[in-house]
Structure 1
Amino acid sequence: MAIAQMVGFFTAIGWATLILVRLPAAQNPRAGIDSFYALAFQGALTTLVCTLGAALVGVGLARFVHFDFWSFLSLLWGWTAYQIARHYFIAYKRYRTAIFFDGGLVLVSAAALVICRKVGISSSHALAIASLLVSLPMFAAVGAPSLKSIRLGIDAKGIQFGLTNFLSGGIPLVFVPTATVMCGAKFAGMLSLLASLSSVGMLLPRAISVTKLPELAARRSSGLALDGTLHAMRVSIARSNGLVSLINAAAVFVVALQKTPDPSMRWAAVIAGMLLTVLCAVGIMGLVNSNALAVFEKAASAASINVATTSLFVLLFAACAHLGGTHGFFLVLISAIAVTALRNELIRAGAKAACTDYRSSLHGGAEVVQ
């Protein structure tokens, strides 16, 4: 499942970003549907390429590593179809429809898990089946595509946005395996729990970011200033980020002290959990400027920044991991925080330049990106 989610950044999330940006700028509903299916078709092509690549890798590594190719394949296609269809409704602010299908996915997934368990089918296949089943009426609700929406080739921006999301969200994926090696399985298990708490808490500011992106795209397509929308988004996300971070810190403190099985590791777990909370909060601080780059489709700039900062983290990670133990692991987390802050600053500079160019094209002024 984890591998399917990582590959899904390229097959779904990158294209979903373009859906949020391009559909609100469409001249009419028919143009919006055609734009959606053009991106969905490219997402399907990307998924097909990833499928073929996974098949080749699976065959090559079959003797060395167990890889459940069919579970991976079903999850990848199911999750990609659901996410791409879901973002059509988000792009047009049809949140009730999106929530309705989200609820349907939960119910269908529960039923699929029960049925598949009785007949001996894995839970991965059950979740994939549920995602595909729910995505069918979602695409039906979107409407039928026209021949104009079928285009050969791949828009590089979809891959670049996928790479950006993969790299920006990929750093935390190494923490639990690293903690297992450096600090032991018990500590890693507690860290996984604390990481889940922090991640769930950050869903609110991320939701604000996603819902504001179509508004930014619509204003840009209409030639309107973005200052007010960006400022309002920054204030809303900053407030929710501060509140959620305080709640996360309190929850991490209590859970780490009460649930850590080894008393000698309790304070280490508290420190690691607090560092994770800080990392999540710092990551959220870059959402507004990331949206600004997205609305101008500066995918190459965002991708290059994330490649550079991730490469820096890899170097710091190697040095910190060499130290070993909990102190070395703390340095890994501190390095991640520093690299994320650097990434935010580089993204801010890129967003400022893009907004300045846009404002200059309208009034000859300068857009302010804080």
Structure 2
Amino acid sequence: MDKIKKTCSELKMPLIAIAFAFVFGSLLILSTGKNPIEAYSALFRGAFGSPAAISQTLNKAIPLIFTGLSVSIAYQCKSLNIGGEGQLVFGAFGASLVGVYLKGLPMLVHLPLAILAGFIFGGLWAVIPGLLKIKKDVNTVISTIMMNYVAFSVVSFLINTYFKADKSDFVAMNWVETTARIPFIQNGGLRICIGIIFAIIAAIILRILLQKTVLGYEIKAVGGNQNASNSNGISSKKNILISLIISGGLAGLAGAMDILGNSGKLYDGYNPGYGFDGIPIALLAKGNPVGVILTALLFSVLRTGAVTMQTSVGVSRTIVDAMQGVIILFIAAEYIFTIYKKARLNRTKMIEEKKLEGAQ
């Protein structure tokens, strides 16, 4: 019973945030003279109204799940990783290198190597802000967001200078070998990338890691109280660095899945935005890896259905951005209120302790 109450309590604010987002979206739609019911019907029809729409919704959810998980693991250690987009781009580059330049391998070897390269490249890109945090106490929000733009420029330079395809209408790398492409499940009009299975497995593994392993316990302990963790022999610096490396690796997997499963080649200027979407996805799920799957699916529905909403009803797809902004606002408000509540309790406790000392 206590577990059910805890779950309901955790779900309350996310559900309120989603409800208010749709209410706010309705007000915006009404202000344009359109019918919100027709607009939302078109949105959900665009996301689920046909086998092709369902396929697109599920396929778009794959990188969103990985970037949500990326933010989630860092969030458990109270490090907000805003650098998911840069890590995603670097992971896409690593997967492309292996996918393009390793030839003659069977798919059972080539595809795992390309996916692993995506994880490694993304993780390595997260090492820099991790070291800045543990060595110089540089805020991860600042360092990771700055590293995004460095990643964009570095990958662009490498593609233009060393890895540009010989015959291409655009500046891009060569096509990934077919043995490194992620296959699709096809049935009738459905065409779903099996990366969705990888994403779900990753969420389950991360859940087990956080709930059932010593590393997961230490990461959450550091996130709860760094000073207390250090006093009890748990290294906060080690766990912050590990959580950021795993976080970067998961973001790198998002890029790998997108390149190996969707586009097939890495273009100059590749910047899909999934890394930034992972932030509200993880925060709405409150860092719960299984919850990330559901919130990523919600964001995919909004992104996919927004196109149909705009074309069939005439409601701008930017309303979806506004709805996501409302969700973020509610999450931030809850976070600020929680900090204020804890600070107030600590202040009350200190006052009571001083009164007791004075009475003695």
Using the size of structure 1 for normalisation, the TM-score is 0.31
Work out which structure has the larger RCO, using CA pairs closer than 8 Å and 6 or more positions apart in sequence: 2
Q: Which has the higher helix share?
A: 1
TM-score normalised by structure 2 residue count: 0.31
